Structure 1
Amino acid sequence: MHSPIAHESAHAPDSAYAAHVPDSARSAHPSRPVHQAVTPAGSTLPGLVGNTPVLRVSHPLTPPGRGFWAKLEGFNPGGIKDRPGLHMVERARTRGELLPGCRIVESTSGTLGLGLALAGTVHGHPVTLVTDPGLEPSMARLLAAHGATVDTVPEPHPVGGWQQARRDRVAELLAEHPGSWCPDQYGNPDNVAAYTPLALELAAQLGHIDVLVCSVGTGGHSAGISRVLRQLYPGLRLVGVDTVGSTIFGQPARSRLMRGLGSSIYPRNVAYENFSEVHWVSPAESVWACRKLATSHYATGGWSVGAVALVAGWLARTLPRDTRIVAVFPDGPQRYLETVYDDTYCARHGLLLEGAPATDPDVVHSPDEKEVGRWTRCTTVQDPLRAESEAR
């Protein structure tokens, strides 16, 4: 006697098989129905973005038995900024600000450039990306391989540094190309809104979050993720991670090795009111954390990832054991093989620490207390422009 279940399983049509069966095989199996091919979920270019995994990170970044969760945005095709790259372009097209076939022009240190190149491919727009000599040669080649035009400014702005020089060049290019459009990632609210799906992914993956740790550059992902998560978890603490030499949180602007976080201007997307504290991290400390992640967890990334991991590890060591901490890792290690993971480069810049960084950060009580040169923490967070205005 045959089992009905076994019988059904043995003869049920296999749609994946049927869609690829050659005509000769179909004629040999006339009873097998022919199905039209289906497009698997996530097989379009925009479908490759999002739903990135989380990884539990513990020893040696934390003591055994303690740890934090890392959101691995390097699993997107180009990194975390694929999300705002696509979203800003789609919203601009919907509003009629970006017309079909018109050029996209933007300033970038690299990762957003990949996101805009992706959006340009999806929606049929030429893309010009303005960068500076600090961009890794491999990233410049990758951007060009994806069809973007890379325009490099030769000199920094005397006050606003490389970022202001890039923005000035963007203004020139917009004037040269009638109908062109700039996303203005530093002040575009669509940059912030693009991270709503990421926040909802974290909520679905982890159920509850107490502390969110984000690097800060344009301010988009820290503002966008925390805005949503704070509605779900009102007690959420947001910890910002910046680089030494960055002016975002009120330190003096200096030349910076680390790219992807920090700024020599004040991006208006930074939600200062959302932060519970800020940490500044040096390049050497970030390199140490990146390399420890690589050897211990087979998951790592660039400057932002190392800086965020160092701070999240400290939080996991010092907060109560049951605190659920999430760190956002914006990208993977590929673009940093010539910097973070290159011993010659690191030795030339004095980035190879003989031992681990200090167990705890230095502490300052206000961002202007002193200029910091190593990992430092401050629990007073304010908008430097507002503070200057109030002091007048």
Structure 2
Amino acid sequence: MNNVLSIHSTDLTSSRYRGLGRNHRPGTMVGRTPVLRISQPFCDDESGFWAKLEGFNPGGMKDRPAMYMVERGRARGDLRPGARVIESTSGTLGLGLALAGTVYGHPVTLVADPGMEPIMHRMLSAFGADIQVVSEPHPEGGWQQARRERVAELLAQYPHSWYPDQYNNPDNVDAYQDLALELHAQLGAIDVLVCSVGTGGHSAGVARVLREFNPDMRLIGVDTIGSTIFGQPAATRLMRGLGSSIYPSNVDYAAFDEVHWVGPAEAVWACRTLAATHYASGGWSVGAVALVAGWVARNHSTDTTIAAVFPDGPQRYFDTVYNDDYCREHHLLNGPPPEEPAVISHPSEQVVSSWTRCLKVVDPVRSGR
């Protein structure tokens, strides 16, 4: 268990993919991802955390909810055979929906914004998805709300089309049962779970299942600066894949024990350091989660089982996180982050601009923020 580079996989085969048959082999590639032990330089060799490498899925972690939401929509009759699937995405869910469209025979239209990386746009098109890009952010809800309004227009345009609504669809939460069961099979009872938060699906779904095995498990949420999810004001966000300028109903605020906000330069350092020391990395969410999980490992005893979900791999970020020119342009090559985060007592105490921790987790909608 202390071998830094040991990789564990599981022989669990999801029941939801078992029956797809010879003609649906793409769907069987989802799930059963390995875990990797991470230690130095995030923490010392005696401590460490386990990273669930969801980048081993064909398109990343969101293959799981994309496949499941489509399956459940079909089972309920909400999604008719051959009907068009229309969704808003910053990229990763789009890959999953393109996969689901291939498996189940649905055309897919994805609404993105100019922040989507060119490589992601090209790959989604290659996988058969129709990409629509909004040109202006919503004055209050930013790019996400602008995308959602375009989705509403397209739903009216295409009869019988179907909208998964990843931000509010409870199937997005239920889809992560398999991920949680894989983690338990690989690691046993987990003491601390570290998850990035965007739609809120995987943090809610994984934590709910893992707490059936260990009710005392702590859940730590990782957000980006400029995100409104945990009560900070909306601001321009460089990081993609985590954070939000709207309030997804799938975020289970009561499940979190604390939240950390991470800045893009800190995430870039973590992404590149992971690549250089463990030959495994990913994008903004992976870097932010690794930074926080390393801090958790440094501040807990060596017998604490810490799991961190790495949502994707590095491929879509070659023009951003791993591009020196891009990083210099955005002042992201600032060296190692501080050993400890700043601490605030309440999300409304101040606007955070770098790695910051808060033990008070609030639901901004219910609290009136």
TM-score tier, shorter chain, comes to over 0.9
What is the CA distance between 1:63 and its match in structure 2? 1.6
Shift of 1:64: 2.3
Corresponding residue number in structure 1 for 2:360: 380
Output aligned runs, 1:173-184, within 5 Å.
Answer: 173-184=154-165
The DSSP-based 3-state class of the residue aligned with 1:242 is strand
Q: Give the equivalent residue in structure 1 for 2:349.
A: 369
Counterpart check, 1:93 vs 2:68: no
- Give CA-to-partner distance per residue, 1:55-78, whole Å, 9 cap, x none: 000001112221000000000000
1:148 aligns with 2:142: no
Change (3 A) 1:388 1:213: same
The alpha-carbon deviation at position 40 of structure 1 amounts to: 10
Please state how far the C-alpha of 1:231 moved relative to its aligned partner: 1.1
Q: CA deviation at 1:320?
A: 1.7
User: 2-side partners of 1:232 and 1:324: how far apart?
Assistant: 13
Q: Distance in 2 between matches of 1:83 and 1:371?
A: 34
Counterpart contact for 2:189–2:210, Cα < 8 Å: no
Separation of aligned partners in 2, 1:250 and 1:382: 7
* CA distance, structure 1, for counterparts of residue 21 and residue 110 of structure 2: 32
Q: Are 1:338 and 2:338 an aligned pair?
A: no
CA shift, 1:321, in A, is: 1.8
Alpha-carbon distance between aligned partners in 2 of 1:333 and 1:168, rounded to the nearest angstrom: 30
Cα distance in 2 between the residues matched to 1:272 and 1:158: 26
Q: Find out whether 1:68 has 2:49 as its counterpart.
A: yes
C-alpha contact 1:89 1:183 (8 A) present in aligned 2? yes
* Partner residue in 2 for 1:111: 92
Contact (CA 8 Å) 2:344, 2:356: kept in 1 or not?
yes
Cα separation, 2, equivalents of 1:42 and 1:329: 30
- How far apart, CA to CA, are the structure 2 residues paired with 1:100 and 1:64? 53
Q: How far, CA to CA, are the matches of 1:85 and 1:43 in structure 2?
A: 15
Equivalent in the alignment of 1:4: none
Letter in 2 for 1:373: S
Aligned partners of 2:145 and 2:357: how far apart in 1? 27
CA deviations over 1:56-106 (Å, ceiling 9, x no partner): 000011122210000000000000000000000000000000001110000
1:243 aligns with 2:224: yes
Contact 1:70 1:329 in 2 (8 A): yes
1:328 is matched by which residue type in structure 2? V
**Corresponding position of 1:196:** 177
Aligned-residue offset at 1:232:
1.1
Identity of aligned residues (%): 68
Deviation (angstroms), 1:117: 0.3
For structure 2, the 5+ residue unaligned runs are 1-19
Alignment-mate amino acid for residue 198 of structure 1: L
TM-score (norm 2): 0.93
1:257 is displaced (CA, Å) by 0.5
- Displacement of 1:225: 0.2
For structure 1, list consecutive stretches of 5 or more residues without a partner in the other structure.
Answer: 1-38
**One-letter amino acid of the counterpart of residue 343, structure 2:** V
Question: How many correspondences in the alignment?
Answer: 350
Q: Which residue in the other structure is 1:29 paired with?
A: none
- Can you list the C-alpha shifts for 1:136-176, whole angstroms capped at 9, x where unaligned? 00000000000000000000000000000000000000000
SS at match of 1:384: coil
- 2:36 matches 1:55: yes
Shift in alpha-carbon separation, 1:65–1:345, aligned structure 2, 3 A: same
